[in-house]
Amino acid sequence: MTDAVELAKALIVCPSVTPARGAVFDALEAMLAGRGFTVDRFTAGEAPDGPVENLLAWRGQGAPHFAFAGHLDVVPPGTGWSAEPFAAEVRGGLLYGRGAVDMKGAIAAFVAALHRVEQRQGTISLIITGDEEGPAIYGTRALIERMAERGLKPDLCLVGEPTSVHRLGDTIKIGRRGSVNIWIEVPGTQGHVAYPHLADNPIPKLVRALAKIDAIRLDDGTGWFQPSNIEVTDLEVGNPATNVIPAAAKARLSIRFNDLHKGDDLAARIRDIAVAEAPNAIVTPRVSGEAFLTEPGVLSAIVSDAIRAHTGLTPELSTSGGTSDSRFLSKLCPVVEFGLPNATMHKLDEAVALADLDALTAIYADVVRRALA
């Protein structure tokens, strides 16, 4: 198969809720067979965040080395679809299915693009994980380690995330904000509400800490990034009794931050506030990614020029949205993200226009030619 629509259908019909393994990787490997690629499939990690299957494929040798990165895992489809979510049904000029947009469609378009490119020099690689939508512990990070073992280091990397907003080609991502989740637990001493001197209520301490945290203004944004923000995402006491002072109170925070900050520094700031109000507070941070920025340059120009040549659009360079695996790949080389319109990603009846798959294939082929020139 060389057509992006047929390739996308072959991937979508393989249910691959994160972490993806097995059939969907069989399908991708079959698409690369006979095309001169060396394919390395491996499994990394153990429960609870693994095992995760990954695929690394490369063709050619030496510089320039252009990499395409993406993920075959998808979020759960949920209920209420107008058709079976893994049926890959085509109707009304649209291909429906979980992963059609995020991001099996882009992977299919890139593979189809390879059939249009005559590679005369350099290296092309695919960095494909089965765990981007999940914890992302044993996915792209494990692939980066595998590449280092094999002496593979890209010069440029394109991630096929669905970045387009209103029309294919209107937006590419040159950076992403970082993310840290923080759990705060304030222990207390359970007791009867009529005898407060015999208890220690943790709720007021936690509330005071959260009020101080909520008052923080981290920054006003930068030339490329929106302001960083702190959000309280959960509060838990779990006290069903009206006459009992609880033994503990808990909260969870999520901070999305720009390149003015580091995750560990923000976690330390939150810890200081919590401990000031409750000296025995337990603060547990988890940094899922640091902010990164690929300054406008060679890679963004290559992608922008290819988009302009095939759509007439000049894409906006953006850092909006959530995190992606680019946060890991940015440590290797310049990285930008460009892919399909994202209006239906993670939604019921996720769908991609057949015309957009064809156009994306042409753009990706043009990008590869320019990158290897």
Neighbours of 180 (CB within 10 A): 24
Written as six digits, the tokens of 8 are: 């996308």
**Do 169 and 310 touch, CB atoms closer than 8 A?**
yes
Which residues of the chain are under the pLDDT cut of 70?
1
User: The sheet that has 335-337: what strands, in order across it?
Assistant: 38-44, 52-60, 123-129, 65-71, 156-159, 335-337, 171-173, 316-318
* 214 closest CA partner among 264, 183, 255: 255
Report the half-sphere exposure of 304 (CA within 13 A, side-chain side).
15
pLDDT of residue 29: 98
Q: Is 132 a catalytic residue?
A: yes
- Measured distance CA(372)–CA(165) in Å, rounded: 28
pLDDT of residue 1: 66
Neighbours of 64 (CB within 10 A): 15
**Do 159 and 139 touch, CB atoms closer than 8 A?**
no
- DSSP structural state of residue 52: E
**Do 163 and 341 touch, CB atoms closer than 8 A?**
no
Q: Which H or E run contains 43?
A: strand 38-44
Helix (H), strand (E), coil (C) string for 203-265: HHHHHHHHHHHHCCCCCCCCCCCCCCEEEEEEEECCCCCCCEECCEEEEEEEEEECCCCCHHH
The residue annotated as part of the active site, out of 53, 73, 155, 161, is: 73
- Measured distance CA(52)–CA(21) in Å, rounded: 7
Q: Is 231 a catalytic residue?
A: no
pLDDT in tens, 280-308: 999 999 998 899 999 999 999 999 999 99
- Measured distance CA(61)–CA(365) in Å, rounded: 19
- Measured distance CA(225)–CA(256) in Å, rounded: 11
Residue 120: which region, alpha, beta or left (left: phi > 0; alpha: psi -120 to 50)? alpha
Q: List Cβ neighbours of 72 (8 Å cut-off, separation of 6 or more).
A: 11, 16, 20, 24, 25, 28, 55, 99, 104, 107, 128, 129, 130
pLDDT of residue 2: 79
The residue annotated as part of the active site, out of 132, 325, 337, 356, is: 132
